[in-house]
Amino acid sequence: MSIQRFPWLKAAIDAHSNIAFPSSVIIEGQSGLAKKQLARYFAQKLLCSDHSAPCKECNSCNYFLAESHPDYCFLDHDSCSSVLHTYSKAKKEALNSKKIEGARALHEFIGMTNSVSEQRVAIIFDAHLMSINAQNALLKTLEELPDNKHVILISNQRKYFLPTIYSRSSLISIKNPDSMAINQWIVDQGYIDFSILNFAPDSTPLEIEKLIKNDMAGQYIEISQNLNSYCLGKKTTPDLLKFYKEINISFEDKIDSIILFLKTCLGINQDFYKAHPSFTSIDNKELDTRQASDLIEELINYKYQLNKVPSLNEQIGLNNFFYKIKNLFN
């Protein structure tokens, strides 16, 4: 897949095209901004025999594209490169980006002599899941990195790592494109029947594409319109309960949809988001910010309890929150 498909990455690519690539890099940003693809692009570029760009033709590129380059490894949330198994006696399930065993195996890999390329590269996907112990183990690697060894961290959460990791790394922050740019990107991908208005505010391009491909693009609008009608008094509580009972998403996703609706209402009310045709219940209305925020916090806590006690009654839970939403909008 060409990196050119993600035009919002161009600034980061251009910024590192004519300089020595840092030994340690953190790429931060929301999920759905192609950070993984950017990291792989940088890795292939570093490993390629043609230093001006990934040529996709040399032996190094062929190894990389075949997922068998001896000077490249990765960790993600539940797995790792097969090469890392040779550097650790830990069980395979422990070799991931969350645990110290994965960071230690990566340390051993980075310390070995290069085999094919002049550089050696390790990527930690889902690095925002790293435990403190794993981060401390990684810090040992970063403290000893020579110029021809590189570690790239991918994080969906900003300011997550230990300060000492940031102090030893260059930071690449990827921001979500504005709505006009996302609309143009959606059209460029061939999805001519959709626009940013079909999706939640702050949705990222790849999140949008995933919803379209899974035939779920209309779900956000459908849920928002039903909740909006309820807040306007056009739907009764039994009507809304019936809608939520029939919609094909998990109970946790139902709670998330209510949280998202309230956050969007607050955002529009505070001029943080643009007005949206599916959110007319807040027209000419000042929401009680504290009350809305408290309700969102209560929903988040309820979702946490739901993970601990999955037998919680769905209808009772939803009925309770719908009652509080109605009070908020009356």
Q: Is there a single domain that holds both residue 13 and residue 124? A: yes
Lowest-confidence pick of 139-143, 248-252, 261-265: 248-252
How much is the average pLDDT of 232-240? 95
Answer whether residue 80 is part of any domain.
yes
**Do 137 and 252 fall into the same domain?**
no
Residues 40 and 157 in one domain: yes
Maximum C-alpha span of the chain: 69
Give the residue among 305, 307, 299 at the shortest CA–CA distance from 263. Answer: 299
Specify whether 11 is located in the same domain as 128: yes
Residue 16: pLDDT over 70: yes
Average pLDDT of the residues in 124-128? 96
pLDDT of residue 1: 62
Do residues 44 and 160 both lie within one domain? Answer: yes
Q: What backbone torsions phi and psi does residue 80 show, to the nearest 5 degrees?
A: -160, 175
Spatial separation of the C-alpha atoms in residues 324 and 136, rounded to whole Å: 44
- The number of folded domains in the chain is 2
21, 166: one domain: yes
Region 12-21: mean pLDDT is 87
Q: Are the CB atoms for 75 and 106 separated by under 8 Å? A: yes
Domain boundary among 173, 203, 237: 173
Claim to verify: residue 76 and residue 160 sit in the same structural domain = yes
pLDDT at position 274 over 80: yes
Give yes or no: residues 125 and 256 share one domain: no
264 confidence band (pLDDT: 50, 70, 90): very high
> How would residue 144 be classed by pLDDT, with cut points 50, 70 and 90?
confident
| In a shared domain, residues 167 and 237 | no
Burial of 75 (0-12, 13-18, 19+ CB in 10 A): buried
Q: Is residue 199 part of a domain?
A: no
Q: Is the pLDDT of residue 286 over 90?
A: no
Let me know whether 162 and 235 are in one domain: no
**Residue 104 domain-assigned?**
yes
- pLDDT at residue number 199: 92
Find the domain containing 75 and state its range.
Answer: 3-173
Task: Choose the final residue of a domain: 173, 193, 209.
Answer: 173
pLDDT on residue 148: 93
Instruction: Indicate whether 241 and 306 sit together in one domain.
Output: yes
Averaged confidence pLDDT in the chain: 92
Q: Supply the pLDDT for residue 37.
A: 97
Does residue 126 sit in the same domain as residue 18? Answer: yes
pLDDT band for position 55 (cuts 50, 70, 90): confident
**pTM, 2 dp:** 0.88
Q: Kindly state whether residue 121 falls inside one of the protein's structural domains.
A: yes
238 belongs to a structural domain: yes
pLDDT for 181: 96
The predicted-structure confidence for 150-160, as pLDDT tens digits, reads as follows: 999 999 999 99
Question: Residue 122 forms beta bridges with which residues?
Answer: 73, 151
In a domain, 133, yes or no: yes
- Provide the CATH number for the domain around residue 146: 3.40.50.300
* CA–CA dist 270, 23 (Å, integer): 42
Identify any residues that bridge with 161 across adjacent strands, giving them in sequence order.
Answer: none
Is residue 64's pLDDT more than 80? yes
Residue 70 lies in a domain: yes
| Residue at a domain's end among 117, 139, 173 | 173
Confidence of residue 140 (pLDDT cuts 50, 70, 90): very high
- Answer whether residue 207 is part of any domain: no
The whole-number pLDDT of residue 52 equals: 63
